[in-house]
Amino acid sequence: MKKIDIVKKILDANEKYAFENVLFLAEHKKLCLNMISSPGSGKTTILTRTINDLKGELKIGVIEGDIQTDIDAERIRRTKAPVVQINTDGACHLSAAQVSAALRELPVKDLDLIFVENVGNLVCPSDFDLGENGKIVVLSVAEGDDKPIKYPGIFAKSKVLLINKIDLLEGGLVDFDIERAKTDARRLNKDIEIFPVSARTGEGMTDWCDWLRQSVKTV
């Protein structure tokens, strides 16, 4: 029982900062999306492609969460988008307090949209509300179509599911039934928007970018 109380306290402390972030984002009328996936599903490649595809239309800033290294932040920096690096030093998720500090370092007033790229982990980040406007879960087809039912938490809580690396489906090297993944994700979350994309080839990125254009308008 003690362990449960402790976990509750840690989550409560996080909620306080998450609420501060909600107020900060509402005050500035900015859209903030929290991108969550396993390591290597392609979050950073999706972000760099999205930033480049929307260049001249939407000003995008990024908060990069990593256990250590700034490899991903460096990749974002090359797009010229403003980026703030958070190293969690071993922790498996970003906290709302870390995001609160990072939001103060970004030129928020000049931005239309802020992405948080969470630590690569399909489990823990889904329990930590960052005060974001929505979660985006990324699933690469190489990971298998059984992931929504095996890791339901994040699929149940996300606004959008990006099914990435669909270029790998050609040639039949990867078994992934897109319809199965869609059906299972919608069973967990009837409102989830689903975009199959390849951030590598650009396939499917138009619909995702259209969704972002619309979402920025409705903040």
Note the residues at the interface with its own copies (CB under 8 A): 3, 6, 10, 38-41, 66-69, 71-72, 90, 92, 119-124, 140, 142-144, 146-147, 149-153, 165, 167-168, 170-171, 173-174
Q: How far apart are CA 46 and CA 143, in angstroms?
A: 16
- Considering the complex, what minimum distance in angstroms separates the CB of residue 8 from its own copies? 11
State which residue, 134 or 144, has the beta carbon closest to its own copies: 144
Minimum separation from the CB atom of position 69 to its own copies (A): 5
Smallest separation (angstroms) from its own copies to the CB of 122: 5
Q: Residue 2 CB, nearest distance to its own copies (Å)?
A: 8
Nearer to its own copies, 34 or 198 (CB): 198
Using the minimum distance from each CB to its own copies, give the nearer residue, 4 or 27: 4
Whole-angstrom distance, CA of residue 214 vs CA of residue 129: 23
**Which residue matches tokens 């392609």?**
42
Nearest to 132 by CA among 162, 104, 103, 109: 103
Backbone angles phi, psi at 117, to 5 degrees: -95, 110
- Give the Cα separation of 67 and 48 in Å (integer): 20
Query: Least distance from C-beta 137 to its own copies, angstroms?
Result: 12
- Cβ-based nearer residue to its own copies, 24 or 151: 151
Give the nearer residue to its own copies in terms of CB position, either 68 or 214: 68
